[in-house]
Structure 1
């Protein structure tokens, strides 16, 4: 285990508190099992999932400067388990830190708006970090491996990184945005076998689902088919929005691509928590649209 208790200002995001409640549930179970302390930012607001900037960059920056400032008040890094939130908030943080040097007037404008609402100013002294990065870089894969009580031997897992985690920010210091390995390394640490396929770094189709539904489902279907054809028992994603298109919409996707799929899609904390011996019920594995029973049966659960 890490030499000291890891503590984060926790930004769960909207989807994990609504349509993907099992992500919220499994993140709590996993972090408690690992001894990671999460202080939830109850006053935080939606990051906008990339849509605010379509109307106003100032709106996106101000809303998320406030979210970051809430973490700064606690003198803690902001932790999220949503790749979309990571990409949006992380990019705002990256941009504003740059503007503190190149355009301080813009940051002052944002802090002026925050002050009017009685909010703390954005200082740029915190960090925005996805749960995946926290597990890999802060807790450590060796430490996770030491905590494994139920090795996921024989389970073939296809990572689905999605767009925002890898390409939402200008730079990410934790992985290669074009040839990532962090998810696969997590799989190995819990005894599972990584499955590689082209779609693992592609878009799930969710961003265009509201206005180009058929094209969105074709994108999702192509990714799922590639994972199945590569021999995957399940797909694992660090993004609840990806999960919505890949799991919740999978029956509709099947109709569009005219092929039966039936590939279980797990949230990252669900997979790791299974290896720590946490019961499937506690992880919300019965709440998925595509049944996770084949995964549990393969693990003898």
Structure 2
């Protein structure tokens, strides 16, 4: 058992409280079951999902320096559960920490803008960490394994890391950004079988979806088809934007590629929580566009009629 309670400044982001409310719901359920304390940063702003810098790098840095400063005020790590949020905020944190050494005038410029809005300054004292790596590095896979009450034996899980989680920051201290094993190791700890396929570390196509919809859906369809061909029962993602393109838009993807897919796509906290015995309803699994019933039936959680 852990000798102390883990505590984080929780940055839920926008999508997990809107189109993917089940992600916020399942994150709260999972952390509560594991005894992890979350203090939600209710005054935090949208990270911009990488769009702010198209207009101004200073804008992106200042908005997210404020988000980080909110966690610093609590003297806690900033916890994300969205790869895009992690990539953007983590990159800003990495950039500003570098500037503290090489270009302190830039950090001062950012803090002056924060001060004008009555915000606390960025100090560079907090760590920005995705829940995947908080669970692996801080909580521990052995500890999670001990808490499993419903082993996911026989379930074949295809990880979809996407791009932001792995390659938005210059330094990836937790694993190889091109050959990651973090999610697969989580699957093994839960009793599930990892499925490997080519597209698991590639872009889901979401960033293209607003101006090149067909190309975006073709990308998503290719990844889903590859996972199905490799024998996957489901796809697991650590990013709600990936989830939107892979699950919510899967019926539209099917029309574009001309093939039926029907692959359930789960959020990472949902999968872990199922292994801890948390009910599908508490995890919002009924909210998915592609039915999760085949996954629940395979696990014996839902009996087919």
**TM-score if structure 2 supplies the norm length?**
0.98
Aligned to 2:180: 180
Counterparts of 1:185-196 in structure 2, within 5 Å, are 185-196=185-196
**How far off its partner does 1:172 sit?**
1.1
Aligned Cα root-mean-square deviation (Å)? 0.4
**How far off its partner does 1:16 sit?**
0.1
- For structure 1, the residue ranges without an aligned partner over 5 or more in a row are none
Aligned to 1:5: 5
Counterparts of 1:29-108 in structure 2, within 5 Å, are 29-108=29-108
CA distance in 2, matches of 1:272, 1:297: 17
Counterparts of 1:75-154 in structure 2, within 5 Å, are 75-154=75-154
CA distance in 2, matches of 1:27, 1:74: 20
Number of residue pairs the alignment of both structures matches: 301
Q: Alignment partner of 2:113: what SS?
A: helix
**How far off its partner does 1:3 sit?**
1.6
**TM-score if structure 1 supplies the norm length?**
1.00
Aligned to 1:222: 222
CA distance in 2, matches of 1:82, 1:9: 14
Counterparts of 1:15-30 in structure 2, within 5 Å, are 15-30=15-30
Deviations 1:97-154 (A, max 9, x none): 0000000000000000000110000000110000000000000000000000000000
CA distance in 2, matches of 1:158, 1:82: 18
CA distance in 2, matches of 1:79, 1:175: 18
**How far off its partner does 1:2 sit?**
2.1
**How far off its partner does 1:13 sit?**
0.2
CA distance in 1, matches of 2:94, 2:231: 38
Aligned to 2:158: 158
1:243 aligns with 2:274: no
CA distance in 1, matches of 2:111, 2:268: 35
Aligned to 1:295: 295
